[in-house]
Chain A
């Protein structure tokens, strides 16, 4: 912005403002705003952008916190892609977890929300009960509880024995079952997508159903032809949010497997593997590469979701 007060003649007549004054105005207008933004700007550069770039750099190095980072080229990524059985195990566990927990959770959430939406008595009580697990579920206490529920002498096996005379296995220490205990824990917390579905269902205008009734459409047909299509924006939102969240799951696997991801890597969530590489083995460069692969996976999933949305999500204008 060059200062040229004498040549300023072409400016609009109603704004006879010389540049120096304009600068001062710009300062007067911008300074307070940037003062308000200062904490965020410091956080953005110092704790988000800076570290993100640093981690991109570190992902191309070997770094153990003690010696300076040593440039390794793409070696970390090559090893991850070709010679890391634990990475393969973590990917399998994580994708299985996402693929099972997200759809099941959303089906439960929608089913219960549909029951609620029929103007049922005692709704606030029911809603509170179904929401409670998703509020408490993130804490270590619930993971501790799960460890006990699915232990060999835990509550689940006790119930199986008393009701059916079945002697259940130790669910959490059997690699064939352990991941499913974590899926159940996730599905149990369907409360918040349920509330979002409930809010979405309220937006559906009732006269559509009345018209459908007059035309003789039954409840099943109404569900698939009216409710489900009109709910697709909410379904889309829930799928994206819950999937990203499931990719990042950590605490239950850590607590239930005592931080090992065992038995035999059967609960080795991706984030748990990342944590082990970084903080148990101090392979900071390798862990940074893992982190960037996670970002790429989440970004790819999000991009695919948004691209696919135009084919199945109905937005009413």
Chain B
């Protein structure tokens, strides 16, 4: 990413700016960065403080480091956070696979195959992008209730295999269209079936967009609160997000350091994605205008 930004023309970059000017900009940016990160750093340091020290201190350095909050938090509810993490992981991984699989199939058809009614279905697909999920929420709930799926993870993952996240279809169609058509035309000449073209040509050449879709899928599913809130009622099936919310309600104001400890742990997977895939995340946003 560094080289991209360095190569990009900057507004007024060719003008010579006085030194004081750039010192001022750095000062503003550093102050703003600190203000942005301070709450998060404070939460991290709060989780390592002795239980009685979290209030009354704005400092980021605890007087003594203790892991007690993590121990208390981990088993702070009747079901341990280990279970919540496991549930979240299972749901996120299965949902991610579903999104990549379901959406890439549809995207391949839209981007590469000629068929009657293609524009019609494509327009409908784009239309679903604009539809807030609230209008489908209640009938979907009734449907899953009738199927006996409430309190299982199925309502949270099966829709992904049916490509209901139209956004990812759109993302992949855009990418697939950029792959030279000569490749699949040549393969078609050689008698390759569409399935083989999809498997052997499109997917291998589309790893960047598949990775972007997978990463955003995972993060969004991991962070999702509304879906699990509606479909998972039994504490044994809770995701981390639901576990945290119950923890807030059960500990109230009493054990903030344990709450912070579990909050920090819940952010670790997202943070790791941020560390390792920052370039993909930022490019994904810059080119497609994702909202977060």
Where the two chains meet, the residues of A that have a C-beta atom closer than 8 Å to any C-beta of B are: 26, 29-30, 32-34, 36-37, 39-44, 46-48, 50-52, 54-56, 58, 65, 112, 114-115, 117-124, 126-142, 144-149, 151, 153, 155, 158-159, 162, 188-189, 191-192, 195-196, 198-199, 201-202, 204-206, 209-210, 213, 219, 227, 237-238, 241-242, 244-245, 247-248, 250-251, 254-255, 258, 271, 274-275, 278-279, 284, 287-288, 290-292, 294-295, 298-299, 302
Q: Can you list 27 contacts pairing A with B, beta carbon distance less than 8 Å?
A: A29-B114, A30-B115, A36-B194, A36-B198, A43-B102, A51-B143, A65-B142, A115-B28, A120-B25, A128-B278, A129-B33, A129-B36, A131-B282, A139-B241, A141-B263, A141-B267, A148-B43, A155-B39, A195-B285, A199-B286, A201-B11, A209-B11, A227-B11, A254-B225, A279-B230, A287-B138, A290-B134
Given contacts A47-B164, A51-B139, A291-B134, 13 further A-B contacts (CB under 8 A): A33-B114, A33-B194, A36-B113, A117-B11, A120-B25, A139-B270, A141-B43, A145-B263, A195-B286, A205-B9, A245-B291, A254-B245, A275-B229
**A155–B292 contact, CB under 8 A?**
no
**Cβ of A183 to closest chain B Cβ, rounded Å:** 15
Closest 9 CB pairs of A and B: A43-B162, A119-B10, A141-B263, A51-B139, A33-B115, A54-B139, A40-B106, A36-B109, A199-B286
In the assembled complex, how far is the CB of residue B47 from the closest CB belonging to chain A, in whole angstroms?
11
B8–chain A nearest beta-carbon distance, Å: 5
Contact between B128 and A44, CB atoms less than 8 A apart: yes
**In the complex the two chains form, what is the Cα distance from A54 to B222 in whole Å?**
29
Q: Which of these, B37, B103, B138, contacts A132 with CB under 8 Å?
A: B37
> B residues near A, CB below 8 A?
1-2, 5, 8-15, 17, 22, 25-26, 28-29, 32-33, 36-37, 39-40, 42-43, 55-58, 102-103, 105-106, 108-109, 113-116, 118, 121, 124-125, 128, 130-132, 134-143, 145, 159, 161-164, 169, 193-195, 198, 219-220, 222-223, 225-226, 229-230, 240-241, 244-245, 248-249, 253, 256, 259-260, 262-264, 266-267, 270-271, 274, 278, 281-282, 285-287, 289-292
Given the known interface contacts A155-B42, A159-B58, the answer about A44 and B194 at a Cβ–Cβ threshold of 8 Å is no
Query: B248 and A147: CB pair below 8 A?
Result: yes
Q: Cα distance A255–B245 when bound, in Å?
A: 7
How far apart are B42's CB and chain A's nearest CB, in angstroms? 6
What is the bound-complex CA distance between A44 and B163, given in angstroms?
A: 8
Cross-interface CB contact of B105 among A39, A132, A196, A274, cutoff 8 Å:
A39
Instruction: Among B161, B194, B271, B282, find the residue whose CB has the most chain A CB atoms closer than 10 A.
Output: B282
